[in-house]
Chain A
Amino acid sequence: MTILRPRPSIAVWLLAAGLTATLAGGPLAQAAENPKLELKKGDRVIIIGNTLAERMQDFGHFETLLHSRFHELELVVHNLGYSADELALRPRQAHFNDHGHRLEDEKPDVLVAAFGFNESFAGPEGLAKYKSDLERFIKTSTTTKYNGKNPPTLVLLSPIAHEDMGNPHLPDGKKNNANIRLYTEATAQAAAKHGVVFVDLFTPTLALYKSGGPYTLNGVHLSDKGYAALAPILDQALFGARPANVKADMAALYAAVQEKNLQFYYDYRAVNGCYIYGGRKAPFGIVNFPAEFAKLRKMIQNRERRIWDLAQGKSVPAEIDDSDTGGFATITSNVKPPVHITTPADEERTFSLPSGYAINLFASEVEFPDLQDPVSMTWDAKGRLWVTTMPSYPMYLPGTKPDDKVLIFEDANGDGKADSCKVFADGLHVPGGIELGDGGVYLAQMPNLMFLKDTNGDDKADTRELILHGFDTADSHHAMHAFTWDPGGALHWQEGTFHYSQVETPYGPRRCNEAGVFRYEPRTARFDVFVSYGFANPWGHYIDRWGQNFVADASGGANYYGTAFSGQVNYPHKHGGMQQFFPMQWRPTCGCELVYSRHFPDDTQGDYLLNNNIGFQGVLRYRVKEDKSGFAGSAVDPLLRSSDPNFRPVALQFGPDGALYIVDWFNPLIGHMQHSLRDPKRDHTHGRIWRITYPKRPLIERAKIAGAPVPELLDLLKAYEDRTRYRARRELRERPEQEVMSCLETWLAGLSKSDPEYWRQMTEGLWLKQSLDHVDEAFLKKMLTCPEPKARAAATRVLCYWRDRVNDPLELLRKQVNDDHPRVRLEAIRALSFFDGADAAKAQEIALESLVLPQDSYLEYTLNETTKTLDQRLKGQGGAKK
């Protein structure tokens, strides 16, 4: 059966809907004749494009309308949308196309393509390229017989408009909308020229935003509500008024669509692609994965059948019957000797520490059975320990529901042992990293960043929202981990090699190939690559009391002074080879921390601690010295060593009591490559948290953070312990902005100039303004020229991130480039790499001025990197900013 339905032109529909296109430039030019979209029974509708397309599967409102409208057609809808995709730029991990989701595999009869948003950031200058890319795309798409019989019917969707959120910290969308309009028009023209179906989503969404908003998270990405509003717009634009004969229970149908989309996502965006279809599929993956994905694909078919049944008004069983989807390959372990699981008491006996230190068990799977394969941690304002677990590691088994968790441990009586464990969230999948903030929880849910919130104070997540997309998952232990806040309110995390990540933001797409450190400002929705470097798998990032960065690469065991290679590069370039800040001893490492706790001995203050997991299992220790612009470390006695082969320290952090807490993933097998991912000897049920103290010295009195008045929180910024200030800053960001700002001014005015810590406290004030996105040029200038060089260096970093909002930032940087302290110069040279366009030549000249002053290896490195970046931009080879 063929359904032919005349499609009213968009303009007609808009009028009918009582909306008018009221763009300053007038309504978009419409094709005189809009071609009709025909659908046939069994058609495969394949959706491709950017985040607009990708998120359509998270909120399947349009697909629900489609199935309910065409209930007899039994359509197959697969969403191949991919964060930040452009027509001519779709970076993917190696062998991604071997997994069975190329268009040749998906065989579209109808191809729905949503592009143009990321391209639009190139502005009017990029339009010619977009047009030619579009010509090529239309030609390929309308002539290639992907299904073997005929080319697909192509449907082009314009980008949606940018919504003004009325939030001073977010772009209002005017600039973006001018560009999006240009790209929408270009798309409309090309569609008209080639007789291709086109839907203008820009004009109707711009109209939609006028009332009842917000419809987006950040101006550019539709929320559930936004997709619910978009669905009828798209549905009616393509097919006209809703038919009368809809038979489906729409809520049930929507749920069925969501369930199908979830399973399809598990297939299309499977974590561990490297081991499933990529470079490491032999010898193990080829044994277990074919059956697993055959099963998953049958499950998807079962769900499609269920969708059709529901659309046709048939009743369906409550549970989906997957008994016909096949079984799994039998996997035997390649580890011959039996693994010996030690009890917590046995494990404790394997620890050795330097004299004076003690270790005790804070929590284990024995008292708290949910503590299975813990991997990351953070402390909340109430002094409770939050831990993510991943018993599903290395990845869930198709057909099962992943059930990794976020746990909250509380030591209510302060005896150094957890008294209770609450499950904050379950049903998660490999949550490699976590941080708290902004009234919720930022969590790695590869390939996305999830924000969870407890809205009623019962310590359970009530809402879960995906807020960033596009982090690659080629290797699950290379993805999204080592979360940490910087003092200026940006969240950082890391990913390893094999990964090709691309993230769409209101400021344009950001991309990173083959490993990097990310930086995200939730308040402004700015997301950037902080370090683009050819790491193996960085897992560890500590930002010291002056805002200087230390980055640990786990796999190779290298450790870097991070500031020097955190300047901007032009994608896809990476920073050049970087020296390590001390000679590495062992590998692989996982997690680093500086000792700033008065509970620990005086001579250890400032030591760099580093977990190590194979061969040497314990915590390595390095003495760190200021060394000109950077730092140099040297090995001293390790803090902890275990002879238990199961001991796997993967995270460490000083707690509110000044003791050091260590997350012990506890697993006899840790190699990804050395055993089958399904090796039955991988452990999924154990996990421990250890606590190291120095009993001769008193513990730190726990700082009152939760519920403390703002002035008290500000006073905590004077605390000696890095982690106390860290947690106080995080709390301050959650307090009412007005109140914090006014208390801050009083607090700054009251600081004692004779306090040796005065300039560090002032720096804390600057950082707080930065984290509240409160640009204060006068205060910044004061800090840029203050007597304390470390404060000037920190202020120079702030200047870098405020460069678009202060007057003549380049002249300010010229002063910093000529500073007598090398670290200030380093920060300035780094900051100059962020200038582009007309400023690039001047930035280049200013950077070179630094050559008159003394050099060291980091200054030379950073100058070389900045010069390279600017040089490429000056030659028009800059491409995208990282």
Chain B
Amino acid sequence: MSRLADGVWRLIVVFMAASSLGSVMTSRQAAADEPADSALVKLLKSGRVPEARLGAIVEMLGKRGSPADLGYLYERTLDPKGFAPAIRLRAMAALVEAAANRGLRPARDLEKLEDLIPSGNGGKSTGDSVGREAIRLAGLWKLESAVDRLAALAGKPETDDATRAVVLESLVGLGGRGKIADLARSPDVAVSLPATAALAALDVTAAATRAAEILPAAAAGRREVDPLIAAFLDRQGGADVLAQAIAKRPPPADAAKLALRAVYAHGRSDPALASTLGKAAGVAADVKPPSPDELVAWVAEVVKKGDPRRGEAVFRRADLNCVNCHSLAKAGGEVGPDLSAIGMSSPVDYIIRSILLPDESIKEQFHTLVVLTGDGQVYQGIVADKDDQRIVLKEANGQTRSVPVASIEDQKEGGSLMPKGLANLMTRGEFLDLVRFLSELGKPGPYAIGTTPTFQRYRVLKPTAGDADSPDVRARVLEAKPERWESVYARVDGSLPLDEIKIPRGQTVYLQGELEVSAAGAVELVLDSAQGMALWSDDEPVALIGTTAALALSPGRREITFAIDTGKRAARSLRVAIKKPAGSTAEFTVVGGR
């Protein structure tokens, strides 16, 4: 009997209980009556394996090793001299994989692991990766003795967000419902919010009540709200429970809007939750799909009234999430199909139906799977990979989730990850514009696939306090940490609207585009206007002659950095074409993606 209400569920054959790799070796050596080393462990002990290859063996032990194999790995991991730091981390990841996917633990005294768990009291950095893997293992191995220590770590304000998230996940694994409920009551939103999300897995009703309480305070931004809402969507029946709690305690319109976007961004549109949030947010009711006659009229209206230029602006709107999943001209999200030439293959009526009824026609390789775990979690995503141990789902936010096959109780084919109800966030005019824009993509004209490559994906440097004080561009910009750069996308024609970058006029905007060069040679960057511009190729400044910068590029990933003095630049956009001068031997591709 299926535990999930609708759809056709297929029984899953659960493979993998214990490893044969271990057991085969064991049986062979059983005659000698000695503890068996598997071929892999023998290899590790032999000293024949060069350092560079240890990682691959360690990973294979995680995938295939027996509890005895894992025991050897565990001991060597605990030994500070056992592995070089990078291999030690891979060894811990392998132990995590063995526990998560195969439910196997090292055949050893596991409590020694606690030495690796950070206390949060100064000494160890809480952001240490080894520490985080140890926290994960504590949860997977059900180390009851670690509960208090983990709960304390989660409650400390100085614990960083990533570590807290791992701690809470482990506490869920350990069934620490009381501890998590305490944390959820914390006055510190940085603690209460992830704790409330974690609580959803153990006590969804209490979590929903608490979520409704803290939603208004949490609604400072999407980063905070999305994981909270996702926790309920990932819980069997969680969306409905949350809808009830929110109906009892409706949030302000802005918070409701953010929460609704979070539902959509998760590729979901559960009716009760969407309508409760929609009501609180003051968003229009569901747009009904047109009848065949109406569809004909809509198509005519799109052709008559739709404006592709305005439609492109709708497509780029943050609240609609289009660019997070779909790429245009190779730049943008990679969850849904690339839409660069959608107008060439899909007529207007088909595009309208695809937006209103995303589940109706799904491109192959974009079908989703919905899995229900024994713990009552429900995950939906495109199957990115699967084998006998785990299924890797690509979720709507573009991230992957590995679900152990052994944990899956039921599964069924899901619909599209594209949320229903997007049209509710648009006026009718905007909808017509959007459809018109999509229907022009790839057709000869302004939305054709370009013949001259342009930068389509830039990264913009997020300003931080103190930037203005430092004149050193190299340290401040060129060597800035990757997480300080955020993706922005040019329009189809290659122009990047500078007004969409939220940096006050008069300040300098730093942008980066990337080229993947496969054969060295000369390349020219041709700007639409040189006004207010300075640029660097990797860390070398490049002169602009007129609007052109001549570069000699060597193979590899090349970063081109632009500084735009917005006070001096009249043009409100930037377009950079990349050309090959006559006789150039350069071969390159423009780096796109998310």
B63 beta carbon closer than 8 Å to chain A: yes
Question: With A585-B589, A852-B49 in contact, is A674–B20 under 8 Å at CB?
Answer: no
Chain A residues near B384 (CB-CB < 8 A): 577
Q: A496-B364, A555-B365, A860-B56 are in contact. Are A867 and B346 (CB under 8 A)?
A: no
Contacting A634 at CB < 8 Å: which of B40, B53, B589?
Answer: B589
Q: Contact: B299 with A336, CB < 8 Å?
A: yes
**Is A277 on the interface with B (CB-CB < 8 A)?**
no
A641 to B48, CA, bound (A): 54
Q: C-beta contact mask, B345-383 vs A, less than 8 Å → 1, else 0?
A: 111111001000000111111000000000000000001
Q: Are A868 and B388 in contact (CB under 8 A)?
A: yes
Contact with A along B505-523 (1 / 0, CB 8 A): 0000000000010110000
Contacts A334-B347, A671-B346, A852-B49; A615 near B340 (Cβ below 8 A): yes
Q: Are A573 and B347 in contact (CB under 8 A)?
A: no
Bound CA–CA A282/B347 (angstroms)? 16
CB distance from A413 to the nearest CB of B (A): 37
A635 part of interface (Cβ distance < 8 Å): yes
Tell yes or no: B442 within 8 A of A by CB: yes
Q: Are A854 and B52 in contact (CB under 8 A)?
A: yes
Q: Given A335-B347, A674-B347, A851-B57, does the pair A841, B387 have CB atoms closer than 8 Å? A: no
Dominant SS among interface residues on chain A: loop
Closest to A643 in B: B444
Q: Does chain A have a CB within 8 A of B572?
A: no
Residue B392 is within 8 A (CB to CB) of chain A in the complex:
yes
CA of A670 to CA of B50, assembled, Å? 54
A residues within 8 A CB of B53?
851-855
A868 touches B353 (CB 8 A): no
Q: Mark A30-63, 1 if CB is under 8 A from B, else 0.
A: 0000000000000000000000000000000000
- Across chains A and B, the number of contacting residue pairs, with CB separation under 8 Å, is 140
Q: Are A283 and B365 in contact (CB under 8 A)?
A: no
Q: Is B480 an interface residue (CB 8 A)?
A: no
A671 to B342, CA, bound (A): 11
Q: Which residues of B contact A854 (CB under 8 A)?
A: 52-53
The reply to whether A851 and B383 form a contact with Cβ atoms under 8 Å apart is no
B344-A614 in contact (CB<8A): yes
Residue numbers in A under 8 Å from B24 (CB-CB): 841, 844, 874
Which residue in chain A gives the minimum CB-CB distance to B347? A334
B341 touches A616 (CB 8 A): yes
A residues in contact with B362, CB < 8 Å = 279
Residue on B with the closest CB to A537?
B364
A870, chain B: closest CB distance, angstroms: 8
- For the complex, is B64 an interface residue (Cβ under 8 Å from A)? yes
Docked pose: A855 CA to B392 CA in angstroms? 24
Is A585 within 8 A of B15, CB to CB? no
Residues of B within 8 A of A498 (CB): 364
Q: Determine the distance from Cα of A636 to Cα of B516 in the docked complex, in whole angstroms.
A: 12
A623 and B56 contact, Cβ closer than 8 Å, known pairs A841-B24, A852-B48, A877-B15: no
Minimum CB–CB distance from B556 to chain A (whole Å) comes to: 11
B21 CB–A CB distance under 8 Å = yes
> Are A874 and B20 CB-contacts (below 8 A) given A573-B388, A645-B444, A851-B43?
yes
Residues of B within 8 A of A586 (CB): 340-341, 449
Cα distance, A636 to B24, chains bound together (Å): 50
B383 and A674 contact, CB distance less than 8 A: no
Q: How far is the CB of B242 from chain A (nearest CB, A)?
A: 31
- Report yes or no: A872 in contact with B15, Cβ–Cβ below 8 A: yes
Q: Are A875 and B20 in contact, CB atoms less than 8 angstroms apart?
A: yes
Tell me which residues across on chain A come within 8 A of B152, comparing CB atoms: none
Task: Tell me the complex Cα distance, A841–B348, Å.
Answer: 58
Q: Chain B residue with minimal CB distance to A851?
A: B57
Q: What per-residue 1/0 map shows which CB atoms of A329-369 lie under 8 Å from chain B?
A: 00000111000000000000000000000000000000000
Which residue of B49, B388, B443 has the most chain A CB atoms within 10 A of its CB atom? Answer: B388
Q: Do A336 and B56 touch across chains, with their CB atoms under 8 A apart?
A: no
Contact yes or no, B385 A634, CB < 8 A: no
Complex Cα spacing A116 to B519, Å: 60
- Interface status of A534 (Cβ within 8 A of chain B): yes
A283 & B360 in contact (Cβ 8 Å cutoff): yes
Alpha-carbon separation in the docked complex, A864 to B40 (Å): 13
Shortest A586–chain B CB gap in Å is 8
Chain A residues bordering chain B, tally (CB within 8 A) = 58
Closest B residue to A569 by beta carbon equals B387
Residues on A with beta carbons closer than 8 Å to the beta carbon of B49: 851-852
When A556-B365, A871-B64 are in contact, do A577 and B392 touch as well, CB less than 8 Å? yes
| Bound-complex Cα distance A637 to B39 (A) | 49
Q: A336-B348, A671-B346, A675-B347 given as contacts; is B341 within 8 A of A583 (CB)?
A: no
* Alpha-carbon distance between A852 and B589 when the two chains are bound, in angstroms: 36
Closest residue of B by beta carbon distance from A94: B413
Is residue A233 contacting chain B, with contact meaning CB distance below 8 A?
no
Complex Cα distance A334/B362, Å? 18
B387 and A576 contacting across the interface, CB-CB below 8 Å: yes
Known: A674-B345, A845-B39. A615 touches B449 (CB 8 A): yes
Q: Given A336-B303, A868-B388, A872-B15, does the pair A282, B345 have CB atoms closer than 8 Å?
A: no
Compute how far the CA of A670 lies from the CA of B344 in the bound complex, rounded to whole angstroms.
Answer: 10
Q: Say whether, besides A576-B386, A615-B341, A854-B52, A623 and B347 are in contact (CB < 8 Å).
A: no
Q: How far is the CB of B398 from chain A (nearest CB, A)?
A: 16
Shortest beta-carbon distance, B320 to chain A, in Å?
22
Verify B516–A634 contact, CB threshold 8 A: yes
Closest B-chain residue to A280, C-beta based?
Answer: B361
Give chain B residues whose Cβ lies under 8 Å from the Cβ of A645: 344, 443-444
Chain A residues numbered 495-509 whose CB sits less than 8 Å from any CB in chain B: 496-498
Interface membership of A848, Cβ < 8 A: yes
Contact B60 A851 (CB under 8 A): yes
Set of chain A residues within 8 Å of B451, measured between Cβ atoms: 641
A674 interface neighbour in B64, B350, B388, Cβ under 8 Å:
B350
A316 close to B (CB within 8 Å): no
Q: Which of A536, A848, A864, A875 contacts B364 (CB 8 A)?
A: A536
Interface assignment of B319: CB less than 8 Å from any CB of chain A: no
Most chain B CB inside 10 Å of its own CB: which residue of A556, A643, A848, A874: A848
Complex: how many Å from CA A534 to CA B392?
13
Which residues of B (474-517) have their CB < 8 Å from a CB of A? Answer: 516
List, in ascending order, chain A residues with CB within 8 A of B344's CB.
614-615, 645
CA–CA, A675 and B43, complex, Å: 58
> How many whole Å from B200's CB to the nearest CB in chain A?
30
Q: Would you call B330 an interface residue if the criterion is a C-beta within 8 Å of the partner chain's C-beta atoms?
A: yes
Which residues of A sit under 8 angstroms from B353, Cβ to Cβ?
283
CA distance in complex: A867, B48 (Å): 21
Q: Which residue of A lies closest to B589 (CB)?
A: A635
In the complex, the answer to whether B60 meets A864 with C-beta atoms within 8 Å is yes
The docked-state distance in angstroms from the alpha carbon of A496 to that of B365 is 11
In the complex, what residues of B have CB within 8 A of residue A336's CB?
299, 303, 347-348
CB pair B587 A635 closer than 8 Å: yes
- Assess whether B365 is in contact with A497, with CB atoms less than 8 Å apart: yes
Q: Is B341 in contact with A671, judged by CB distance below 8 angstroms?
A: no
CA of A863 to CA of B43 in the docked complex: distance in angstroms? 16
Chain B's nearest CB lies how many Å from the CB of A127?
23
Determine if A718 is an interface residue (Cβ-Cβ < 8 Å): no
- Residue with the highest number of chain A CB atoms closer than 10 Å, among B344, B347, B519: B347
In chain B, residues 37-53, which have Cβ atoms closer than 8 Å to a Cβ of chain A? 39-40, 43, 48-50, 52-53
The answer to whether B519 touches A867, judged by C-beta atoms less than 8 angstroms apart, is no
Contacts of B60 in A (CB 8 A): 848, 851, 863-864, 867
Contact present for A614 and B40 (CB under 8 Å)? no
Convert B424-451 into 0s and 1s, putting 1 for each residue whose CB lies closer than 8 angstroms to a CB of A. 0000000000000000001110001101
The 7 A-B residue pairs whose C-beta atoms are closest, nearest first, are A615-B341, A634-B518, A577-B385, A874-B20, A615-B442, A536-B364, A536-B365
Besides A555-B364, A671-B346, A848-B60, 12 more A-B contacts (Cβ < 8 Å) are A282-B361, A334-B348, A336-B347, A615-B341, A615-B344, A615-B442, A634-B516, A674-B350, A852-B43, A852-B49, A853-B53, A867-B21
User: Can you identify 19 A-B contacts, CB atoms within 8 angstroms?
Assistant: A282-B360, A336-B299, A497-B365, A573-B388, A585-B330, A614-B345, A616-B449, A673-B361, A673-B363, A674-B361, A841-B24, A844-B21, A848-B39, A854-B52, A854-B53, A860-B56, A864-B60, A864-B63, A874-B21
